[in-house]
Amino acid sequence: MATAGPIDLRARFSPDEAALTADAAGPSQSRRRRILTFAAFAIAVLVLWEAVKWLGGVPWRFENVLGTGLAIDHNPPFRWALANDLNLPHWFSILGALAAPVQRNAELSLGQFLAGAAFYTWREAAIGFLVGALLGLVLATIFVHSRLLERAFVPYVVASQTIPIVALAPMIVYAFGPNVTSVVIIATYLTFFPVTIAMIRGLRAPDPRALELMRSYAAGRWAIYQKVRLPASLPYLFTALKIAATASIVGAIIGEGPGGIPDGLGRAIINFNQQYISGPEKLWAAILVSSLLGISFFVVIRVAELVVLRGRPGAAEG
């Protein structure tokens, strides 16, 4: 009677087959390459931004260039409505606005104000992220262990995401009141879906031979879940969490508008949008800080992924 070969559980742990064949000897080099690529992309965007201003913006005048006392005038050859200072301020004007007072004669700078608003929004998003991730994990666990419940309820889980969040947010605020609870619910709503779907697949990722081996030792469902299914699903979980991290920020910002939260980025964006004519740089600065907040949350989850999956094939390439 032929005997089965050795069970290779590692081949089932990663959802990305290409990552299994990647060169594991140079993860740090790969990370450096990604950072340099991102930096090059950001620089290219800024160069393109100013090129559009140079060609189709309003006339420029730089006073005392590099401290030499010289002034440089530039009259763009074209006039594009998109490139005027109202629609597209200079990026250095946006950065300069961060150091200016948030309001006239105010001691607080715009950068300090937006940093405080970003931290407030992040706290709301983090709560919704944790609740949504836990909800998604619980739902996926139930669905994996019950085909009947999966067939009955997964279509509704998918259908729940077809409702535009900008339409759903006011309804949630009306039901739960204009408070932080409503914002957390909105962030949870955007978080639980990717975790649920990814974990349904992840909890089914283990090698069937590993599951049969556990059952041959009379292991119960909890033992199999804890020692085989959950470890095998971690790459899928972190992939979903990276998506959910940015989604929770978006949900919190959207929810702060109808939720009437005065201290977050959502309200700041609404206020600066109403004041756009007098200070377009403030709205652009708020958008910049919102983007950096989402990127920072993503990086936190990525670092956690590297720590938890340290030593697994392809972990550094995710």
Containing H/E element for 238?
A: helix 230-256
Number of H helices, E strands in the chain: 12, 2
Amino acid code (one letter) for 314: G
**213 has pLDDT over 70:** yes
CA distance 281 to 205: 49
Q: Give the type of residue at 102.
A: V
Determine the pLDDT at residue 105. Answer: 79
Nearest partner of 133 among 204, 78, 192, 173, judged by Cα: 192
Give pLDDT, residue 66: 60
Q: What is the DSSP string of 105-163?
A: T-SSBHHHHHHHHHHHHHHHHHHHHHHHHHHHHHHHHHHHH-HHHHHHHHHHHHHHTTS
- 251 versus 27: the higher-pLDDT residue is 251
* Sequence ranges of the domains in the chain: 26-83, 113-317
- Note the residue count of the chain: 318
Does the pLDDT value for residue 211 go beyond 90? no
pLDDT given at position 18: 44
The sign one gets for the Cα dihedral 9, 12, 16, 20 is positive
Question: Residue 74: what are its φ and ψ, rounded to 5°?
Answer: -140, 125
Provide the pLDDT for residue 217: 84
Does the domain made of 113-317 have the CATH classification 1.10.3720.10? yes
Three-state SS at 130 = helix
pLDDT band at 31 (very low <50, low <70, confident <90, very high): confident
Instruction: Round to whole Å and give the CA distance between 118 and 241.
Output: 20
Q: Is 249 helix (H, G, I), strand (E, B) or coil?
A: helix
Tokens of 151: 């067939």
- φ/ψ bin of 260: left (φ > 0), alpha (ψ from -120 to 50), beta (otherwise): left
Structure tokens belonging to residue 148: 């009947």
Q: What percent of the chain has pLDDT over 70?
A: 88
The pLDDT of residue 106 is: 80
- Across the chain, what does the average pLDDT equal? 86
**pLDDT tens digits, one per residue of 170-205:** 899 889 988 899 999 999 999 999 999 999 999 999
- Confidence band of 24 (pLDDT split at 50, 70, 90): very low
